[in-house]
Every structure is written in structure tokens, then in C-alpha cells.
Amino acid sequence: MTFDLKNAMATAGPSVLWLSMMATLLLARLALVGTETDREEDATFHQHEGLQAPNCSQMTLKVEFSSKVVEHEYIVAFNGYFTAKARSHFISSALRSAEAGDWRIVRRENPASEYPSDFEVVQIRQAARERLLSLQDHPYVKRVTPQRKVFRTLKLVDPPGDSGSPCNDTRWTQKWQSWQSSRPLRRTSLSLGSGFWHATGRHSSRRLLRAIPRHVAQILQADVLWQMGHTGSGVKVAVFDTGLSEKHPHFKNVKERTNWTNEKTLDDGLGHGTFVAGVIASMRECQGFAPDSELHIFRVFTNNQVSYTSWFLDAFNYAILKKIDVLNLSIGGPDFMDHPFVDKVWELTANRVIMVSAIGNDGPLYGTLNNPADQMDVIGVGGIDFEDNIARFSSRGMTTWELPGGYGRVKPDIVTYGSGVRGSGMKEGCRSLSGTSVASPVVAGAVTLLASTVLNRELVNPASMKQALIASARRIPGVNMFEQGHGKLDLLRAYQILNSYRPQASLSPSYIDLTECPYMWPYCSQPIYYGGMPTIVNVTILNGMAVTGRIVDKPIWQPYLPQNGDHIDVAVSYSPVLWPWAGYLAVSISVAKKAASWEGIAQGHIMVTVASPAENDSEVGGELTSTVKLPVKVKIIPTPPRSKRVLWDQYHNLRYPPGYFPRDNLRMKNDPLDWNGDHIHTNFRDMYQHLRSMGYFVEVLGAPITCFDASQYGTLLMVDSEEEYFPEEVTKLRRDIDNGLSLIVFADWYNTSVMRKVKFYDENTRQWWMPDTGGANVPALNELISVWGMAFSDGLYEGDFSMADHDMYYASGCSIARFPEGGTVIAQTLKDQGLEVLKQETAVVDNVPILGLYQTPSEGGGRIALYGDSNCIDDSHRQKDCFWLLDALLQYTAYSMTPPSLTHSKSRVAPPTATDQPLPQRLEGNHLYRYSKVLEAHLGDPKPRPLPACPHLSWAKPQPLNETAPSNLWKHQKLLSVDLDKVVLPNSRAHRPQVRPLSPGESGAWDIPGGIMPGRYNQEVGQTIPMFAFLGAMVVLSFFVVQLTKAKSKPKRRKPRVKKPTYLQQQQTTLSTGKNPTV
């Protein structure tokens, strides 16, 4: 055997040596895999991703969108679909009546131009108001809105925890310019680049390197469904993004590529669209979820990163014509009042298109949901990392559509992996990206795969798919519902539910438990009590039976008598029509009078019956019905003392959209809009949590000041108020303070010259106009507090200072112009920020009054505290919090305890009492009346509207039940007629690695069969194991080659000759001569 091996080695020596060299090279390549590859791939996606600004530490490139109005161009939306000739006739007749001479219809050359459309783009060079009104008045015209141009912008952002030099320096060395973007942050790109937040690769932290080294489709166990023969076949999925190259090796079933831009190419020049398509449908390397699905590529962004609203509308219409099943949209923005866009999304889902959209990358701030993901009919997707932690970048709920009178809905709907996910490179190979635009195609791919598993495709619609996803989601422990929605995507469980599904209605959330923390935050953070503002829970009704539906009769409230259900009152309001596929159910909960001094748990449930027209006329009555139960569980406590109750004024807070309300901190030029709702559960969440920890009970006033009983509350808290006040409100507040109510006001800047400097382009009038208010509506506040001789100035100040041994930062605040004698006033040395904005000059001002405390003179009267800046309690751009100051002010207003650190402060000055100093006046020509709940237009001079009636709740008549309520309401959402045992999955545990995070002190090895330790976590196990097997064989072969070489290189030792026996010599002679011996 040894002899044969030597001969083989000798014969194949050069080949074996060549193989050993190749094995060595492969081993070196394996050590570098994921490093060089990612460098190349990152360079293909963002050519500037590695750039660093001078004098700054390592940065990551963040992609954002902004938009501006296209001058003289308008989108004319019609009430139906018409041919091009009919649309032209309608517009001509409308503009002819207004004598418009200079106008034309903008030609749109795209695949949808051959079909009837419901809109037209018109260019009117002489944009007079009457011409627009004549268009709007045409009987076939639904709406006229400006055309928008969308830009993608690149921005260097600091990684978390980076203490290096800032690249986006906010020093005021540059000149101030007018903000010309009509809707900054309109539709923001939701991709963060490969290095953002959770970079994969050599810079990854030890924690992230423990993540599983497989592609996201395998981590979510899509391979189990592949083994069953489900690969997305027959499902049409659309990707609205930057296009796709024609011959990309990762895709085998690209059904159609369409271009909706003004560039003559279908290819992806940026890489984002290719990545998204790869996550959904790649067939090799970084494999997608549904490789056999029909991929429809909609190129809606140019290589210069520009798009138009009309491009989206045309593309959406074409998607409806092509009967697209699933549509992924990885863009978003804060404008939920962008009517053409929102209306078209409703139309898409009404046509059974399942839209999946990213929830936004504006986390961890609350109230930052993006549209259209915040719509009820859209599946809104948030992001997590591979250890099931909510990604820091993922936007948080609640929705802000319903403010100030109502309460937001639960969003996102679901979360999935969005950090360090691998997808297709622009030309070939794979790369990693993070962002909710990554999580969105993960869900879109999963939805496509799930839809292909259902035999009766008629059962699959936007509602039924969302029902299956949220009912199967795995809840993440320790995370509230405004962060995770219903939990983490569970693909296999969703498959089981969807394949035993029967059309029905369901609720989101499926129960109300105000005792369950932290999931039910903020409801669980504060018990309810008699006399408090009703607690509002906004529940979404999902109707899987049909696109339209209704609630039969009225919802029924059934309290459980053994569980004290009769101690609470319930009122319910709901959508008159459920369309498309969804509606709302607003539940208001209050404590009955008999429980004013009672403490305990109360339970009951609400029964809701939904009816929809049957698609099959053979159904009895031609209608399908579904009854759902909404369990309710609350904790009741005795009514707290008045001094501990704080009322937050929500009614007088305004935000974008619909109007232009600027940021409170003028340094934040990259985020100029105040759009987070100004609610205690959104951008004032940390303040709310702090007050609760200090024992205060905080309630929200969503109605005028005339609608609350001031005797119940110790302090009314007004923060960053932009709204005007009814005269009746001013009168009532003065009376309430005389009777013991206290008031705390946190104001912000208001300066008409600065407001003109940050002018804004009005989309409706096509004219430049100024902000409707400053950071706060100081003139309105001054009218409110003028009776006590108080007023804020139009000064604009900022700077660092120290107060009562606390470091403070004043961010674009105003000063106190007037304050009554006998009050306490604190002043500081600050920079004149208004001068910097207007003239780019720097000046320091001494003794700027910023804080005032005053005890009203009436017997038993309340106290008033004024502070000129709210940024220190606002989560949006807070640099240094002043919660300690809020505590001190509440101690003063509630208990008349003046903090010695303030009364004896060296910064205390005499109250400014001069009455000759002019006070801020309202900006002439402002348009606040368009968005105000208080003002209305009146002959060019806005005046207050009539005071509205206070909200009146119609309490449901209880139908008590003498039965025991369930003790634990948290179960996976049960859909009717769903039996998971009937849907059997193949046992794939033998070949599927286990995924779990490491415990402290645990070994760093992954829990993978064979103890394999790949070099990087984002490699595929299916590729890694054969590679190691091949390299192992090469190493063994190389070992034998080396041994053979050593053996040949040794000098041969001369063996001693041994005399052979006679019979052996004879035998050898016979063999050599060929003759046989004679016997």
C-alpha cells in the first residue's frame, strides 16, 4: 500500500503541489472573508460612504429625503378614472371659464400613460388664486394640490457614544438662509447604510459578534417552507425603489422592470433597490424569502436621487392595473395629511394590494411614526437586531393623527430583523445594511412566501395577512407596545394560522389590560380614579371578510360582577364604515362615583359584531358577520389629593402637519419641523416618567380650558403652546387661579424678524410666507397672563449656565419682559441668538430674566411660575434636562414651598416692571387661522370662533355578567376557527442551528452542530460547512505532500548486503530467464 501511494505521489507531484497552494490561498481568503468583500460592496452602494469630514471622528453616511414644490405645477385629482382626452376636456373647460391663457398639461411618458388615469399634472404659469379655485370647482375634480419634487440627501451622522469631533458642527459660523423646502422630511429614506447603529464586520462589538451567521430568510426558518415546496410561486411582488440591473445573477423571475423617472434607464445606479429586491426574491448567495415570486421593479427614483409625487401616483395606478399582490415601500415621512399620496394608498389596499412599509428611522424618540406605515390598512414594520432588541433607530408610536382630542393607535404592527441584514449588491455579491427599510422587505418577502402557501388565494387580503402576522407574532419581553407592536415576526406560526384561516374580524390590540407592564405602557403606568380624565384606548378593527364593513347595532359593555366590573363606566365610538379593510374603536374608560374611595381590580369585556357584504351571493342574507370580544381590565385607586394631580394642556399644542410650526430649538436646522405631537407620551415621555416617579398623577386635557373642573387639580401645565385662546378660556383661567389652581408655563422663542428669516413656501397659495408661530405663541400667552402684570419678550437667547448647582442649557428661549412686584425673578448671562440669526453677530447679554415665581394676592389664590424655554424637558433635542426645576416649580405651585436655592440665589434680580417696553406682536399676514381650532377667517382679519361645546361621552348601558373573568389576558391572539395542530410542519431541527443570545459568562461559541466557529456572523451556514469540508481535505492532502517531500529529500542510506539463500538465488534466476527449473 505504501509502495502504491508513493508511486501515485510521484506521478501527480506537480498537481498535488498546485492543489496545496490553492488550499493555502483559500484558507487565507477565508480568514479575510467579510472584510474585503464588504469593502468592495460598500463602495458599490455608496461611493462616498467612507468619506470623513475634516476634524471629525469616524462617521456613518445617513440617507434622507426632503422635498420642495415644483413651481407652477399642480396635480389635479379627478373623481374617477378617465381617458387622456376626457381629462384634457375637463381641465380646458374649467380654465376657460377663468380665462386662463398660459397653461398646459405636462406629458407623462411612462407605462401607465396608455391607460385611463385619475389625475393630471397641469402647468399654470400665471398662478392666480381664482384659476386654482375654478379647477377645484369643476364637478369631476376632487382636489388640486401642488406637484412636489423629492430629493435624496446624504448626511454624516455620529455613531452612538462617539465622543470625537462633531462633523455636523452646529456653531453659527455659516450664514442663515431661508428654508425653501416646503415639506422637509416629506418622504424620508429609511436606509441607514451598512455602518449605522449596528455595524457588521470588523468594527462590530463583542455583543453583536454573537449573532447567528446566516441570512435572514434562514434565521426566520423560511427553509422549512422551501422544503415543503413553497417558494413564492405565482405571487406578484412590486418593489418601489431605485431599479434593478437587467442581468443581475441573483434573480431568475424578474417579470417586468418599469421606469417612472425622467431618466432613460431601468438599471439601479445606487444599489438600494437591488438590496431590497434581494431580501425579497434573491435565488443565490444572500438568498431571499421568495425566489420564485414574480418580481415587478418600479424605478421611481433617479440616480440623482430625485422623484416626484406624480411619478408615485402613476406607478401606483399601474400596480393596480397589473394586479400586484404585495408592494414594498421603504420610504416614509411625517406628513399623514399628504392627501394625494394617502388617498392612493387607500385605493391600492382596497384593490387587495398588501402594502408593507417601513415605520421610520427617527427612534428612539416616541411619536415619530412615518406615513404610510402609520395607516391602519398598511403593515407598518419596525426593526430589531439579531438579539431581539428593539433597534435604536426604529421609530416609536403612538400615531398622532388623533390628537389633541383623542389618543393614538398602536404602531408598528410588527417588528423583525433590520440591523446588519445581508442582501444583494448592486451588480453581484452581498452586502449588509441597517434600517427599517431593511426590515420592511424582510416582512414583504415573508408575506410573499406566505401568500404562495395558501391554496385559496381569495382568502389572502391586506386584513387577513395582517391578522395572521400579528396573531402569530412572538412578544419581546420587557418592551412596550409602542416599540414592538404585536411582537417579532414568526414565519412558521403565521403559516399555520394562514392555512387554517376563515374570514373574520379581529382587534389590535386584542385586549385592554391597564395593569400589565411594561407591554401596556403608558396605560399601565398610572391607575385610574374617580374624577380623572377618561382613559382613551384607540383599538383598530381589522376586517378580513371584505374591503368594506360596518358595526352591527352598537358595541355591548358587559362588566364581570365578581371582578367589580360595575365600578367602571365605558363609552365607545367607532368608524361608521370600515374601509379599506379596517376602522377604529375608541374606548373611553372612567371610574364610577361609587368607587371614589375604593381600590382594586375591575374587569369586563366589550362585544363587537362586524358585518360585511358576502362576495358569494349564496350566503344567507348576503352578509358575513363576525363577533369579537375585547377584554378590559383596570386598576382603580382612591382619588389622589388635589396637590398631586397635574393637568397637561394638550388642546393648545399644534404640530406639523398641516401647518408650518418650527422647531423650538433653532440650532436644529436639519430637523426644522415640530411634528412629534407635544404629548406626554411622545416627545415629553421622559418628563412624564419622571413626574410619575415623583408621585404625581398626570392627566391630559384635549378640550378647551372651559371643559375641566379646576377644583380637582393642583397645577395646570402649559408647555410650548402654539394655539390661540378663546376669550372664555382667558376669563375662566383667571377665575380658577383666584380659586386656588396654580399655573406653570414653559414658553419658547417668538420673534417676527427671525420668523421672516426662516420663511416658508406655501403649497396652496404658491407664495412665500412665514411660520404661523414661533417656537410658542407668545402673543397669545401674554394675553392669557396679562391680568397679573406678566409678559414674555421677543428676545431670543441661548447658552450654558448654572442654577442651584445644576448645569443648564437655554436653547432658543425667550425672556420675561414684565413681572409683578413681590415676585421672584432669576436672571442669567446668555448669548443673543436673535442677533446671530439676523446679522451673524455675537453678543452676550447680562441679567436676562428667564424664571419667575409669583403668589397671587387673592385669598386662597394659586401660584404662577414662568420659564422661557421648554427644550430642557422635551425629548426631541434635549441636551441637559431640567426635571429638577420642574420638581421645584411643582413643590412651589402645589405646596407653596419656595425652593431656598432659588429665593436666595445670587442670580435673583428685581422683577422687570417697565410698561414702556413694546411686547411681541403677531406676525402680520400669518395663516394660523387655517389650522387653528380657535380662529377663523373674517374679512382678512381672523377672529375667534364660537366656543365649542365640551366633549360629552355617551356611556354604554352595562349588561352585567355574574361569571368569573380570566385572570391573565395576555395570550397569543386567537383567531376564530384556527387550529394550529391541523397544520403540520416538517421536523427540521436536525439540520437547523439554534438561535439564542448568550448568557453572562457563557462561552462565545455559537450553538451550531459540530462546534463550527465561522469567522463572521453574516456568512451562510449552508456555504460554510462544505467549504470547511473541502479545505479540511486539502489540508490532509497537503500534509501527505509535505511528508513525501521530506522523505525524498533525505539521503539514502546504503543497506548492508545480505547473502541470499541458495533457493532464493535460484528463484530469482528463473524469473529473469523465464525458464522453469527442471524437476
Show the cell assigned to 39: 469593502
Peptide bond into 657 cis (omega under 30): yes
Q: Comparing C-alpha atoms, which of 860, 857, 865, 910 is closest to residue 888?
A: 865
Neighbours of 206 (CB within 10 A): 8
Phi, psi of 480 (to 5 degrees): -85, 170
* Radius of gyration of the chain measured on its C-alpha atoms: 35
Q: Are 837 and 929 in contact (CB under 8 A)?
A: no
Q: Are 143 and 340 in contact (CB under 8 A)?
A: yes
Locate cell 408647555: which residue? 719
By residue count, the chain amounts to 1079
d(CA 340, CA 939): 30
Phi-psi sector, 806: left (phi>0), alpha (psi -120 to 50), beta: beta
Neighbours of 414 (CB within 10 A): 27
Which residues does the annotation mark as catalytic? 241, 272, 437
DSSP 8-class letter at 712 = G
Residue 309: CB partners within 8 Å, gap ≥ 6?
75, 147, 148, 150, 340, 341
d(CA 650, CA 676): 13
Strands of 729-778, DSSP E: 742-746, 760-761, 768-769
Report how far apart, in Å, the C-alpha atoms of 721 and of each of 42, 656, 744 are.
45, 14, 12
Peptide bond into 509 cis (omega under 30): yes
Measured N-to-C along each axis, helices 339-350 and 309-321 cross at an angle, to the nearest 10 degrees, of: 10
d(CA 651, CA 643): 22
| 591: β partners | 568
Half-sphere exposure of 8 (CA within 13 A, CB side): 9
d(CA 34, CA 199): 12
Q: Are 761 and 768 in contact (CB under 8 A)?
A: yes
Q: Are 743 and 723 in contact (CB under 8 A)?
A: no
DSSP H/E element including 37: helix 36-45
Q: Are 68 and 142 in contact (CB under 8 A)?
A: no
Report how far apart, in Å, the C-alpha atoms of 498 and of each of 231, 376, 976 are.
16, 20, 12
DSSP 8-class letter at 212 = -
Q: Are 905 and 804 in contact (CB under 8 A)?
A: yes
Q: Are 1077 and 1070 in contact (CB under 8 A)?
A: yes
Classify each residue of 434-457 as buried b or exposed e, where b means 16 or more C-beta atoms within 10 Å of its C-beta: bbbbbbbbbbbbbbbbbbbbbeee
CA 1003 to chain centre: 35
Report CA torsion sign: 34, 36, 40, 42.
Answer: positive
d(CA 289, CA 444): 9
d(CA 597, CA 581): 43
